[in-house]
Amino acid sequence: MDDPKTLVSTEWLAAHLKDPDLRILDASWFMPGSDRDPKAEFDAAHIPGARFFDIDEISDLRSDLPHMAPPVEKFMSRLRAMGVGDGHQVVVYDSTGIFSAPRVWWLFRLMGQFDVAVLDGGFPKWQAEGRPVEDMPPVIRDRHMTVRRQNQMVKDVTQVSSAAKLGDYVIVDARAADRFSGATPEPRPGLRSGHIPGARNVPFGTLLTAEGTMKSPEEIRAIFDTAGVDMTKPVITSCGSGITAAVLSLALERIGKADHALYDGSWTEWGAFPTLPIATGDA
Is residue 105 in some structural domain? yes
What total number of domains does the chain contain?
2
- Active-site residue (options: 69, 239, 243, 247): 239
pTM of the predicted structure, to 2 decimals: 0.97
Which DSSP state fits 66? T
What's the pLDDT at 160? 98
Is residue 239 part of the annotated active site? The answer reads yes
User: For the purposes of burial, counting CB atoms within 10 Å of the CB of 281, is it exposed (0-12), middle (13-18) or buried (19 or more)?
Assistant: exposed
DSSP helix/strand/coil, 88? coil
Same domain, 172 and 138: no
CA 12 and chain centroid, separation: 21
Is the Cβ–Cβ distance between 45 and 134 less than 8 Å?
A: yes
How many whole angstroms separate alpha carbon 149 and alpha carbon 176?
Answer: 31
Same domain, 13 and 125: yes
Q: What is the pLDDT along the chain (283 residues), one digit of tens a residue?
A: 899 999 999 999 999 999 999 999 999 999 888 899 999 999 999 999 999 999 999 999 999 999 999 999 999 999 999 999 999 999 999 999 999 999 999 999 999 999 999 999 999 999 999 999 999 998 888 889 999 999 999 999 999 999 999 999 999 999 999 999 999 999 888 999 999 999 999 999 999 999 999 999 999 999 999 999 999 999 999 999 999 999 999 999 999 999 999 999 999 999 999 999 999 998 6
What's the pLDDT at 283? 67
The amino acid at residue 255 is I
Same domain, 102 and 175: no
Same domain, 81 and 145: yes
Could you tell me which residues are beta bridge partners of residue 3?
7
Among 149, 172, 203, the domain-final residue is 149
DSSP helix/strand/coil, 236? strand
CB within 8 Å of 73: residues ≥ 6 apart: none
How many whole angstroms separate alpha carbon 5 and alpha carbon 250?
Answer: 10
* Residues of the domain holding 163: 152-270
